[in-house]
Amino acid sequence: MKHRITRRGLLGGMGAMAGAAVLAACAATPAPAGEQEPAPTAEAVAEGAGAAPAGEVVELTFQHFFQSPELWETAFVPIFAHIEETLGVKIDHIPTPYGEMSTKLLTLVAGGTPPDLTSLGNTVLTDVAKRGALLPLDDRIAADPPCPMEDIMPSRIVDNTWDGKLYGMPIDQGSDGLYYNTAIFDAAGLDYPNPDWTWDQLVETALALTVDEAGRPATDPGFDPTTTKQWGFQFDTSLHRMHNLVTSLSGNEAWFDKDITVCQMDSPEIVEALQYLIDLRCVHHVAPTTEQAAGVEGLAGGIFPFGLGYFAMQFAWVGMTSALKLEGVKIGTDWDVTTYPKGKKAVASSSGQGFPIVKDSKHPDEAWAVIKEFMTENVMKMLGQNGAWMPARISMARYGQPADGVPEHYSEAFIDPVSEYGFSKWWYVPGWSEWDQTITNEVDPCWLCQRSAKEAVDTFVPIVNEMVEKRER
């Protein structure tokens, strides 16, 4: 029998997070005269001031990345159909690859053809806001709030705020969790992962579940890591996704000081944590090399390799839950999720999408109406139960559990941790994208087993510190 713990309550923990700090963050901030066109007053909003003439169907443009297979047909097609019917508008879509969202948006704005709406992740939103491409939402919130603002996860408000103003309406919460293949665990006679697991237990289990072509586990002296057919553990090496793991191992979540004057990733405990993760790949061989990962992704044909049974466990984003429901996934319902192992400190990094109104939008009032509709219980429920995203509203987070009940322990992995220790990375400010790239360039050889963590850190920290010193404040 596999052992589970009782699922922690959601609303009690989350409700404690909503307080005066959130209300202050959401309060109206009047714009200086001449800086921008003022948002409509409450009376004007109520009367439809600035809207299209009665009977005229407004066509809005929305730049987004939602047309990927795991998001579009099951979630966003019915959502957009509902919004168009409810508001009497037509939405023209500008499909954009996720990694090109901010670059394409700035190009459209510079070319005089801005979309009315866009969707930006918290790693890039502040940089786009600093460039003057977005409209602050504070005055519209004060005049015509989309929902009780204290019902939005506080860390997600912080994620979408720049220079004291809210530029993106938080739509979702992009938590991370530990996915595991129950069939692989059952075949090996091992207990499933759970929130009380330690890192030592994870590594011990990953070694037992990493198997080469000859059927030898990684614990066997004859194990050949060059012919591995099943890996015990996989994780994303992007800085954004890796932060939770490094913090758990190191006990130090501060990659920069609070004033963002110096990079602190050279602290001994962070270096040791990075090396621990490198060793999972290069010493223990329980995680695939860069080349091996690319190989199984090629064989997967667009399906996440976890869905084809290549990994016994994978630390990944909540969005993989919807991808594991796609046609072609071979593991069926033989999987579940939990939170990552216990370590020296727990954080649940806040992340996700914010919906801004783009500067020079031709239809800002209608764009605001679309954002408001996304925040309603009806659409929040559609986002969650259709398997797209976990809603950013505290009272709606329960709808993140997919309607089919899979995975069973969704709350344990993706909701409970955020309610207890949601964390917003304060160094996601204008300039972070360049620092991220610099750090990544120096750390990448580590994942190729060509460099130690200390060698990488000793190289990039001085460079990043120079960049930080020159940043605009």
- Lowest-pLDDT choice from 43-57, 278-292, 446-460: 43-57
Q: What is the mean pLDDT of the chain?
A: 88
Give whole-number Cα distances, 207 to 125, 294, 308, in Å: 40, 21, 20
Taking only the tens place, the pLDDT of each residue in 63-111 is 999 998 888 998 999 999 999 999 999 999 999 999 999 999 999 999 9
For residues 361-366, give the mean pLDDT: 98
pLDDT at 55: 66
* Range list of H helices, 258-385: 268-282, 290-300, 320-323, 364-374, 377-385
pLDDT of residue 379: 96
Kindly report, residue by residue over 425-446, the tens digit of the pLDDT. 999 999 999 999 999 999 999 9
pTM over 0.75: yes
What is the tens place of the pLDDT at every residue in 271-307? 999 999 999 999 999 999 999 999 998 887 778 999 9
Sign, CA dihedral 221-225-229-230, equals: positive
Per DSSP bridges, beta strands 335-338 and 176-181 are antiparallel
**Can you list the alpha helix ranges (DSSP code H) found in 386-425?**
410, 416-421
> Strand order of the sheet with strand 134-135?
89-95, 58-64, 117-118, 357-358, 134-135
d(CA 56, CA 271): 60
Contact 122, 350 (CB under 8 A): yes
* CB 4 within 8 Å of CB 192: yes
Terminal-residue alpha carbon distance, the chain: 57
Angle formed by the axes of helices 432-447 and 239-250, nearest 10°: 70
Q: Which of 410, 401, 323 is nearest to 71 (CA)?
A: 323
pLDDT tens per residue, range 231-279 = 999 999 999 999 999 999 999 999 999 999 999 999 999 999 999 999 9
- Give, for 465, the enclosing helix (H) or strand (E): helix 453-469
Residue 473 pLDDT level (bands cut at 50, 70, 90): confident
